[in-house]
Structure 1
């Protein structure tokens, strides 16, 4: 059973990370091949030099601008004595990893782009530096945060949640067998471990934790949310197979108050304002530095 993924962060961090990945891909393409050609079509070879030239024409200015941006941010952070700790980097990496289903998923995504976790942490460091440099100019006040909360209140309200365990099997016949064994007094945890095909939680009694109705298969959710705490269902068919469901907890819907979610509101508001002001902020910041982008000059000349 898969829950819905959490929403991704705003454009600032994703654009910074994407730029770092582009740099990694280009560098890999430029130095990552030791043979005298990179591709062969019949008897015709495409040389490493041809690839390098094509990559530079297509991505050169993008990579150069990414490196310039990183350098400007790093120099400005040093000038303003803005520091980033490893603890802060680790916390942000953990947050970003949730978008990929965990650390392994993130590492797999990075590997597919020829990147390492160290590369990723550098991009995260740049993002945190950017956030710390931009925040003072955003003029965040309690009044602005309260207005933002009022405008987006529904997204902070908590829907009713159910905590449940399940035993998932492939066919109705097996589901009926498991249901009968439970009715006859067999131990739930032992049956889950023996019969459940959901290997992610079978050894934990099929525990799914708390979830809201929208995050589960419709048939499964309809059944679970109609049950009382401690109740065990008859076999329920879903797109995954047949479930025996046991409800172990219920949390009523809760209307959010500003005091309860103030930290979340501040984070969301800062991200929104960073996205809205990043381009202008960066352009103004770059005016303070003597930047000579020869690739941009060459590109303009060629046009």
Structure 2
């Protein structure tokens, strides 16, 4: 079992040690103003946040203060639905990171002109789809001002300039690296067999059989779908677009993939009701060639290198900085996490999302360099017959599942591995440890 270690401290100045963590979420204007804590792969320091002495100063970075008021105001702008993922500790850590980078940018003479800032703000309003008046009203509703938003974006632009100059512009991805990635991750470039179908969904088998008879007698499928289907796709004539196996409920999927193009299915019963399916198109499984995938792979590898190099760069700033946290207790970066009992997760919740108990849930972020290191290990074990549920990226269903079934044990950081049955969890690990963890989940 995994244990927690805590180190008690007095109200004294301490040197903070770097800790690499990341979490990804988005939410229109408000999240942009919260700061890079949600979207950047910067280093975080994992510390406890207790009330500090010295006139409510939370931290001092090279002589510049960060106050408790600053952190509390940031936390107040976090939407309620994200407060389970974002803590005041994280916001303090991010504020330290940001201040270090801004201090370094100032040393290097990096700044943002009024024209550059104005262009960014104009684009922000355009991208929001709002008029200037509507944009200002939205800010007001979120207790923000245009001056505050401009200050935030100005800081981020300065940081981006610094990182582009010192890190990003120096990143090179070679052809040999691209080829190696392609050969080791060929499955990523496979487009599975897909079908495109229309359907009509109704509540009773009698009505479905009646509609099927009309269709066989020559009635127009699109017209009947618009008139009688209770599915939201009715307005599109029942068109569901292209989908691959695993995206629809099993009964619907089996029926759709068994059809020939232009063929009608018999009435298909699912948990949603009764369907009549018409197959519009079918495409076979395809594999992108190396040439077709090169651009995509270059972006992936650049992102991985960028994340790692930014972390290394910030660690260098940390090592040479004078960072003091006032008060509280420190949790070591190597501290392990206390296990959660099996009673913390309802079996029905896991079953609802079709997750077998012998499956390891892999919580990851696309912008997390440590997650990138774990992905090939997960794929290797999948090749050996282990089951993993990939919970991350842009998969909204995965976030919904984690929020509903595992709220009490989510750390807010990635990578994270969860064993649904025993409800144990841990972070980055070796292939041997991951295999042992997966074996425990299968036991």
Same fold (TM over 0.5): yes
Task: Tell me what 2:216 maps to.
Answer: 183
What is residue 279 of structure 1 aligned with on the other side? 311
Distance 1:31 1:285, change over 3 A: closer
Deviations 1:22-64 (A, max 9, x none): x9993266699xxxxxxxxxxxxxxxxxxxxxxxxx83x5423
Cα gap change, 1:167 to 1:28, in 2 (>3 Å)? same
Give, in whole Å, the separation in 1 of the partners of 2:284 and 2:190: 11
User: Counterpart in 1 of 2:38?
Assistant: 18
Q: Does 1:148 align with 2:158?
A: no
**What corresponds to 1:204 in structure 2?**
236
- Native 8 Å contact 2:105 2:159 kept in 1: no
Equivalent residue, structure 2, for 1:161:
194
Aligned residue for 1:168, secondary structure, equals strand
Give the structure-1-normalised TM-score. Answer: 0.62
SS in 2 for 1:14: coil
2 CA distance for matches of 1:138 and 1:192?
53
Cα distance change of structure 1 residues 137 and 299 upon mapping to structure 2, 3 Å threshold: farther
C-alpha contact 2:212 2:266 (8 A) present in aligned 1: yes
Is 2:59 the counterpart of 1:27? Answer: no
**Structure-2 change in CA distance of 1:297 and 1:153 (3 Å):** same
Residue 292 of structure 2: aligned partner: 260
Does the 8 Å CA contact 1:131/1:274 hold for their aligned counterparts? Answer: no
Structure 1 position 166, deviation (Å): 1.0
Among 85, 92, 115, the residue aligned to 1:64: 92
Describe the shift of the 1:12–1:274 C-alpha distance in structure 2 as closer, same or farther (beyond 3 A): farther
SS at the partner of 1:243? strand
Partner of 1:41: none
Q: Is the 8 A contact 1:198 1:206 kept in 2?
A: yes
Give matches, 1:107-256, under 5 Å: 132=164, 134-199=167-232, 201-256=233-288
Aligned-pair distance for 1:292?
5.3
Residues in 2 aligned to 1:125 and 1:211: alpha-carbon distance in whole angstroms: 40
Q: Would you say the 8 A contact 1:64–1:293 is kept in 2?
A: no
- TM-superposed CA distance for 1:141, in Å, is 1.3
Alignment partners' CA distance in 2, 1:193 and 1:253: 32
1:223–1:30 CA distance, 2 compared to 1 (3 A): closer
Partner SS state of residue 258, structure 2:
coil
Shift, 1:151, TM fit:
0.8
Alpha-carbon separation, structure 2, partners of 1:277 and 1:173: 63
State the number of aligned residues. 236
RMSD (Å) for aligned C-alpha atoms: 4.3
Instruction: For residue 282 of structure 1, report the CA deviation from its aligned partner.
Output: 1.7
C-alpha change, 1:258 and 1:124, in structure 2 (3 Å) is: farther
Q: Any residues of structure 2 matched to 1:13-92 within 5 Å, and which?
A: 14=24, 16-18=36-38, 26-27=72-73, 59=88, 62-73=90-101, 79=108
Contact 1:160 1:212 in 2 (8 A): yes
More strand by share: 2
Q: Distance in 1 between the 2:284 and 2:224 partners?
A: 30
Shift of 1:167: 0.9
Look up the match of 2:63: none
- Displacement of 1:173 after TM fit? 1.5
**Gaps in structure 2 of 5+ consecutive residues:** 1-20, 26-35, 41-68, 79-86, 129-141, 331-443
